[in-house]
Amino acid sequence: MMEHLQSAMERFKAEGKAGKTARSSPHLDPAPAASPSTIVYSRSRPVFIHEEVLRRHRILTRHDSPFADSYKILRTQVLHRLREHGWNMLGVTSPREGTGKTLTAINLAIAMATEPNQTVLLVDADLRAPRVHETLELERRAGLTEYLLDGTPLEEMLLYPGLGRLIVLPGGRGTEQSAELLASPRMAVLSKELKYRYESRIVIFDLPPVLGRADVLAFSPQLEALLLVVEDTKTLEPDLQQTLQMLKGATAVIGTVLNKAGQGQLSLPQVKRAVAVNHGWAG
């Protein structure tokens, strides 16, 4: 099956990918003078996440985790691609549910946020089924949905979990209007604000799966790059191929992360050869 995944990715690489341009990050930075639409990041609410919660969910801890090196390698590869093009708006998605995309988005954000002079804003943009707060075992509170639908001030929702220079914007309540909200003028204005407000910030959006939902395509004009998460022995070649075809021309897919590698029928060398073919690197 992984030979089929590799074949699909290589075909996508050969056909070419779309690119865009840009630049930009959150917490203890001095806030510029406020305007009615300005987001004041210095008001981020501190939240404490116990070390045991992080370990239980395989989240990078305040100390090195057994899998920390893998995410540090992924961080380095992703940052290289983003900086090469001057991009800072990154989406994390998958063909279908259950591949571990939310965990990948969280761990990548933490790994980036521990870099010197690098700040990261993690946005839960899976508005129909937001899960970042669940993975971090935080109580559900107002988030992106409330900002877009109710006009709740964004600075009241931002969370500072004490994991490097990371700020989290939760998704809030689930909504069936997810694609419409992500494509709304209000979201476009917010995306522009998030992109340009701080020079050192990377904005990572945990997005819904591509197949069966319009959300990622609706939001793609605001993105500069996408990271695609697939799962060993679970992601099927037709799903991967369909996903890549749908994303072609929408935004640049800078790489693919093979999750749960080695738990299926493949050996580690086979996994390394099959993973992340878009630009010749594996995450």
Contacts of 136 (CB under 8 A, 6+ apart): 49, 53, 57, 59, 106, 161, 168
User: What value does the mean pLDDT of the chain take?
Assistant: 81
Q: In the CATH hierarchy, which fold is given to the domain comprising 2-29+42-274? A: Rossmann fold (3.40.50)
Q: Lowest-pLDDT range, 40-44, 192-196, 214-218, 220-224?
A: 40-44
Residue 179's SS3 state is helix
pLDDT of residue 202 exceeding 90:
yes
Contact yes or no for 204/92 (Cβ under 8 A): yes
| Closest-CA residue to 236 (of 101, 136, 96) | 96
Q: DSSP secondary-structure letter at 143? A: -
Residue 89 gets the label, from left (phi > 0), alpha (psi -120 to 50) or beta, of beta
Determine the residue type at 280. Answer: G
pLDDT of residue 18: 40
pLDDT of residue 281: 39
Torsion, CA 227, CA 231, CA 232, CA 238, rounded to 10? -90
What is the band of 3 on the pLDDT scale with cuts at 50, 70, 90? low
pLDDT of residue 228 exceeding 80:
yes
What span, in angstroms and rounded, lies between the C-alpha atoms of 252 and 214?
A: 17
Q: Which of 15-19, 56-60, 108-112 has the highest mean pLDDT?
A: 108-112
Which is it for the CA torsion 28, 31, 37, 43, positive or negative?
Answer: positive
CA–CA distances in Å: residue 40 to residues 34, 75, 114: 7, 27, 22
In angstroms, the first-to-last Cα distance of the chain is: 19
Domain ranges of the chain: 2-29+42-274
pLDDT of residue 82: 96
The stretch 118-145 carries a mean pLDDT of 95
Q: Which of 13-22, 37-46, 177-186 has the highest mean pLDDT?
A: 177-186
Using a cut of 0.85, tell me whether the model's pTM lies above it: no
What span, in angstroms and rounded, lies between the C-alpha atoms of 197 and 37?
A: 12
Q: Lowest-pLDDT range, 40-49, 83-92, 153-162, 259-268?
A: 259-268
